Each structure stands twice: as structure tokens, then as C-alpha cells.
Amino acid sequence: MSWVVIDELRVAYGGTTVLEGVHLEIPRGSLTAVLGPSGCGKTTLLRAIAGLLPAAGGTISVGEKLLSSPTVQIAPEKRGVGWVPQDASLFPHLSVGENIGFGLKRNADRPARISDLAEMVGLEELIDRAPSQLSGGQAQRVALARSLAPRPDLILLDEPFAALDPQLRSTLRREVAELLRGQSNTSLLVTHDQEEALSLADYVAVMRNGAILQWGTPREVYERPVSRWVAAFVGDTVELNGYFSGGQVQCALGLVEAEMADGSEPQDGSPVCVMLRPEWLSVRAGGTDGTVTSVAYAGHDALVGVELPSGTTVRARVAAPDLPSRGDQVSLGIRHRALAYSDGSASSPIAPVSTR
């Protein structure tokens, strides 16, 4: 059941439209990531949900409560929405405990709630410390606890790990995701980090130029991107020009099983772009012969460049124990059905292979 419903949302700054026709439904208790490049409107979407920007069109609802429409604008403090900013933004004159409890009423239950939250985020020993005495990761934990304190209907996270070093970012984001799921919170995370969105979220919405292009599970978005732009944005791609013929594409890899991912129905012989992920290719399996031209080693695996007889070079992702060397002769196989798109040639143009 959808808990948050954003329907045909339009948001403008002055005369400039930033969001147009945004539709997004978030199931209760889920963690949804809005993934997109800088400037695509992700933070504007969060600010509109939080009540910091009005809706010029469409609606925003949480549960049965209408928060925003062209005629309705519930005040931010009355929305039941928590916010975790990118830089923690703690009050420097308040202790950790006072920051956590900032949004709570001063009653008999307040100290216990602060103590419980501090323990929940692993900071119970630091409850009397000043923000200046905290590390970046600890400060973000305080910001998260503060947003959870009033038991909001929705938690908004605005790239909360972006300012942290890579190792801490990886650890903290995993801890935060587990904590939010453990509390059955409904959460919306905005990020430009593909790995972060795919590894943490229950659902991913891909955003570009103020519009949602695709929504689905991480696996659906990664394995069945609706466009070549989405495919390239969420991960590495191998793109080849080819000709479509009854569920197959003739390209530099030979005759490849493929389906039209963009919903089009091209006629046989129509030019298409065929897309595979590097890990969908296997090296040293029966298939198309080629020569290894590069090995980009990453520890656990590597991207292996293979030049095909046509002169085309493709990249396969290979597990580290099985790496070939430059100059090796290998065979490329395909272990996953390819996707085809009818919207023009590949981004790295390659001469089409004749179907004769």
C-alpha cells in the first residue's frame, strides 16, 4: 500500500519550472532512493515534501493527509516529516542529548526518549558532549536521531553521507538503512551515488531534468532500464550498433538474443542499439573470439577490454581469480539476454555489422 503519494507535482522558482509532472508512490515502511545527477531536482523534491517550497501544480499526500496542492500548504512543523541534511546542521550550543530532543515537548517522557534514541544510534556514552567534539559520522547519527525523535510519518534524507570519507560513508549508510528498517520507518533518500541507491534502497526512482524516468526495485532498474540514458547512469554499459530481427540483434558480437527494453516494435532489419552490462559477458566461454587489450584491476574484479575481429572493443567484468592478461586470445560469451533500444546509434559509434 502506498503511504506517500506525489501526483503530477509541479514546482517552480519564479518563472522557471524545476519539477514537472512528478509522480511517485512510496510504500509504507520502505526506503526509497531518488537517484539522479546534480541539478536534476532531487533536493527541490525533498524541499517540496517538507513544505519549504509550494506546489504550483499536483499534490503531495502522506497517509490520508494532503500536505501540498496549489490551494493547500501545510506548515513544515505540522507535516510529520523528519529531515536529515547533508551536513548534520547540529545546534552548536546544545549537547548531543539536547540536539536529539530539540523537537520533543518538555514532559516526563522526554528524557527517556532521548536516552533510547542515543542508544539506538550508538551514542549513549556521548549524550553530554558538544557537537564540536563529534566526528562527522557521529554528527550524522545525532541528526538522524533528532529527525526520528518526534516519530515522523516520513523521513527525508538529503545526501546525508556525501561529506564523509569513503570508508565511513559505506559503514554508516549501511547502519542507517538497517536502523530505519528496524524501526519500520518510511524513508526517502536522495543521492547521486548509484552504488548507494542500488545497495540500500527497496525502491529506486531515477530522476532527470525535473522528471521521474523510472521507478522500481534496484534489480528492475539495473537489469531493465527503460532508456539508454537510465542504463548508462545506473551502471557500466556495453553499447553496440546492430540490426533487429525477430528477437535477435546482429552486431559485432554476432547474433545476440535481445528484447526491446523501450517498448518499441521495430521492423526486421531496423537499426537498434544493443546494450549489455559488462558482467553479462563471460570470458573464456564459447562465443566470439577476441584479443585482450586492457585489464582495469579493482581488487575483487576487473574490467577487461577485448578487441573483436571487427575492430570493436567491448568490456567484460571478470572476477579477480580468473583474470586474463593483455594480449591473451579469449572467447566472449553472453550469459544474460541483451536489451535493445530504437533511439539511434550507440553512444560510442561502431560500424554496423552486415546482416547478409
Q: Is 298 among the domain residues?
A: yes
CA distances to 104, 111, 135 from 124, rounded to whole Å, are 18, 12, 15
Residue 308 confidence class, pLDDT cut points 50, 70, 90: very high
From CA 304, how far away is CA 287, in angstroms rounded? 16
Final residue of a structural domain among 211, 231, 251: 231
Instruction: Say if CB 45 and CB 51 are below 8 A apart.
Output: no
CATH label of the domain that carries residue 268: 2.40.50.140
At 337 the pLDDT is 94
pLDDT over threshold 80, residue 286: no
Residue 43 confidence (pLDDT) above 90: yes
| DSSP assignment of 224-252 | S-SSHHHHHHHS--EEEEEEEETTEEEET
Rounded mean pLDDT, 23-34: 96
Report if residue 193 sits inside a domain: yes
Query: What was the pLDDT predicted at 350?
Result: 35
Q: Which helix (H) or strand (E) holds 180?
A: helix 166-182
**Grid cell 577476441 in the structure block, residue:** 290
Instruction: Say if residue 249 is in the same domain as residue 290.
Output: yes
Q: Which of 5-9, 125-129, 295-299 has the largest mean confidence?
A: 5-9
Residue 263 has pLDDT above 90, yes or no: no
Q: What is the mean pLDDT of the chain?
A: 91
Q: How confident is the model at residue 349 (pLDDT cuts 50, 70, 90)?
A: very low
What is the length of the chain? 356
| pLDDT of 228 | 94
Instruction: Domain of residue 275: give its range.
Output: 236-341
**Domain boundary residue, one of 204, 231, 258:** 231
- Do 320 and 308 meet the contact criterion of CB atoms below 8 Å apart? no
Chain segment 61-88, per-residue pLDDT in tens: 999 999 999 999 999 999 999 999 888 8
Cα distance between the two ends of the chain: 52
* pTM for the predicted model, two decimal places: 0.89
* pLDDT at res. 279: 96
Average pLDDT score over residue span 280-301: 89
Query: Are residue 126 and residue 221 in the same domain, yes or no?
Result: yes
Question: Are residues 90 and 110 located together in one domain of the fold?
Answer: yes
Residue 352 lies in a domain: no
Indicate whether 217 and 303 sit together in one domain.
no
Q: Inform me whether the pLDDT recorded for 348 exceeds 70.
A: no
Give pLDDT, residue 158. 92
Q: Are residues 178 and 316 in the same domain?
A: no
pLDDT at residue 256 tops 60: yes
Which residue among 166, 200, 231 closes a domain? Answer: 231
